[in-house]
A and B are shown apart, each in its own frame.
Chain A
Amino acid sequence: MQEIGINSVPVVLITAVFTGMVLALQTFTGFKRFGAESLVGSVVALSMTREMGPVLTGLIVAGRAGAAMAAELGTMRVTEQIDALETLATKPVKYLIVPRFLSGLFMLPSLTILADIIGILGGYAVAVGLFRLNSVLYWKRTWDVMETGDIYHGLVKAAFFGAAISLISCYKGFYTSGGAEGVGKATTGAVVISFMTILISDYFLSAWLF
């Protein structure tokens, strides 16, 4: 919980605020060409809640917590700590994997909410602070287009990514073999497969949800 949640907050905040800022920067420059700069708020809000929030948070968590999970379980495997659990009549799956799965499932949506909010604020800072867009108009455009469904579906995605990351990383760690090198391979594998799973499933989840 701690590892996935609290420790990922700073990275998620920085990523989200700059993503929101760059979204505002790019759309403002583009939309200005046909006089639609007031729509910046809508674009930032929709992009963040539907795509950027869940996907970027997922990638960060996969890189941080997923790697940590695979490395930790992998080390426990190669140093026989998982065997030791079994000899002490404790089921490793229940003891090691279930809590990690649950924290992945719940922490990723929580972090995504944070990313959504901070991203939108980042966009606001650029659009209003830098480009002198009307503050009231920015918020109006934001609230006008955004529906509860956008946020909700984004969070469903996040929960799916969280579950996928923890399952993939735990699986990779749990079935590690071959000493320190094996732990390295398991960790790399966990991150790469998690990244691919997030990016590929994102398309299909989007097609299905929206």
Chain B
Amino acid sequence: MIDVIDLHKAFGTKKVLDGTNLHVERGQTMVVIGGSGTGKSVLLKHIIGLLKPDSGSVLIEGMDITRLNEKSLYEIRKKFGMLFQGAALFDSMNVWQNVSFALLRAGMKEEEARYIAIENLRRVGLTNVEDLMPSELSGGMRKRVGLARAIAHKPEVLLYDEPTTGIDPILADAINDLIIKMKVELHVTGVAITHDMQSAYKIGDRIAMLYQGRIVGEGTPEEIKSSTNPYIRQFVTGSAQGPIKIEGVRET
């Protein structure tokens, strides 16, 4: 479904992606783990074409989206839904208008769009919030609304940018359950980036670790748990000692 091939991207002199390769099977959820600032978000933004790579390609069902013109790119984006880290709800609109934004833009009547929004909100476990403004929601609710918006146009691929960051462990687990539910009920292919290992083990069919712009190891959650790869070992055990250097901190 998704193939990332030898992706390179630098911002100024800082190389963020340095030959990244990733393959995601249809219907599976791939979790990309890695420390802060390792380019996970940048990778995700390439998959949906928000960023253009310096070189390399991103194939969606065999089609290279990095070479598409704007019109075709917007067409292919309809296959995607994305849950942003801070939910990125439009704060000038209320909840149901947010959820049905793409449908309203496509010309659907307000009444119908509102009805569908309520359905989608129920799917993510929310009721009676459709007329609230985003500023009236808690962090966990915002994420759910963001997810309802991401699934509104029935995408084939869902991208999750740090889905469990910034919310408490119980809410985080509820979000994990939702991500699994989306996969099972909507048969979507998922790509999530996170540094929350508990979440990664739970939602991932496969887990890949990104370090210094490359995938340094990949496997099923079981394989990752018992991996001997020093990078993966250090990350999953959460140790400051090992091959991964903490940026900006001098060795003592």
Contacts and interface: CB of A to CB of B under 8 A. Distances in A.
Interface of A: 76, 79-81, 83-91
Contacts of A85: 90
B81 A90 contact: no
Given A89-B102, A90-B105, A84 B78 contact: no
A83 B44 CA distance: 12
Contact of A83 (B50, B70, B150): B50
Nearest to B106: A89
A79 B153 contact: no
B48 A87 contact: yes
Given A83-B45, A83-B50, A89 B86 contact: no
B77 A89 contact: yes
28 contacts: A79-B86, A79-B88, A80-B84, A80-B85, A80-B86, A80-B88, A81-B89, A81-B91, A83-B45, A83-B50, A83-B82, A84-B84, A84-B88, A84-B89, A86-B50, A87-B48, A87-B50, A87-B81, A88-B77, A88-B102, A88-B153, A89-B74, A89-B77, A89-B78, A89-B153, A90-B101, A90-B105, A91-B74
B80 interface: yes
B45 A88 contact: no
B77 A86 contact: yes
Contacts of B48: 87
Given A79-B88, A89-B74, A84 B102 contact: no
A88 B84 contact: no
Contacts of B81: 87
A156 B182 CA distance: 55
Nearest to B159: A87
B149 A88 contact: yes
Contacts, number: 50
Interface string B134-151: 000000000000000110
| Most chain B beta-carbon neighbours within 10 Å: one of A79, A88, A90, A91 | A88
Contacts of B85: 80
A119 B215 CA distance: 68
Interface string B69-80: 010001101101
Contacts of B80: 87
A85 B88 CA distance: 9
A76 B89 CA distance: 9
B88 A83 contact: yes
Contact of B82 (A79, A81, A87): A87
Interface string B161-191: 0000000000000000000000000000000
A88 B98 CA distance: 11
A175 to B, nearest CB: 14
Nearest to A88: B102
Contacts of A86: 50, 77
Contacts of B89: 81, 84
A91 B78 CA distance: 13
Contacts of A91: 70, 74
Nearest to B84: A80
